Amino acid sequence: MLHLLSHPLCDHVVTHLRDRTTKPITFRTLAYQISLLLAVEATRDLATREVTVHTPLETHQGCTLAEPMIVVPVLRAGLAMVSPFMELFPDVSVGYLGLERDETTAVARRYYAKLPPIRNQRVFVLDPMLATGGSAVQALEVLRTHGAREVSLVCVVCAPEGVRAVEETHPGTKVFAAVLDRELSTQKYILPGLGDFGDRLYGT
């Protein structure tokens, strides 16, 4: 269920994302770059259909994307991953889920949801950090309750604990990530990790 990027550029970008001296403006550029790589990887199996086009010289039988897709970023950090999907795919709709982690209990609380019609649609949940898996599990539950046909998670960094939580509660869910880190700290932060993605993204 876990699909990890394997590319030198991925290693390069993640290393700079981890670096605590990386400024927010550079962090945002790096977040865009890694999200672009993840968008390509996560959509390798999109359905296509044959079409006939006329080149300047002859008729050609080619392929185009066969169906629309939906991306749902988890606020606020997931917003950093939306642009590559919107730029790459012409028929993409965007929904939003607000899930806030309680710093004492590490349990996520949903405070906002705005979704397009998703029944029988393919949906990609965008959340840079898969730590305990609490937010991911909640997001999957919401989207499947609304009738999504297939839901995948797209993350930058994930912890083994988070991957296990998703696998146990939603078996078969595909998780696309740049890296799998070592473990969670006692405070439920990913190690070695890169800190709070949202804070580093927005400088707050």
SS3 for 3?
Answer: strand
Specify whether 19 is catalytic: no
**Which of 105, 109, 149, 182 is flagged as catalytic?**
105
Half-sphere exposure of 204 (CA within 13 A, CB side): 4
Specify whether 102 is catalytic: no
**Which of 19, 91, 102, 199 is flagged as catalytic?**
199
Q: Which two tokens stand for residue 119?
A: 């029944």
For residue 128, whether the previous peptide bond is cis, meaning omega lies within 30 degrees of 0, is: no
Residues 6+ apart with CB under 8 A from 198: 76, 77, 204
**Which of 76, 101, 110, 144 is flagged as catalytic?**
101
Specify whether 169 is catalytic: no
**Which of 22, 29, 110, 196 is flagged as catalytic?**
196
Q: What is the DSSP string of 59-70?
A: EEEEEEE-S-EE
Contact 75, 112 (CB under 8 A): yes
Residues 6+ apart with CB under 8 A from 110: 97, 98, 99, 138, 142
Which residues belong to the active site? Answer: 101, 105, 196, 199
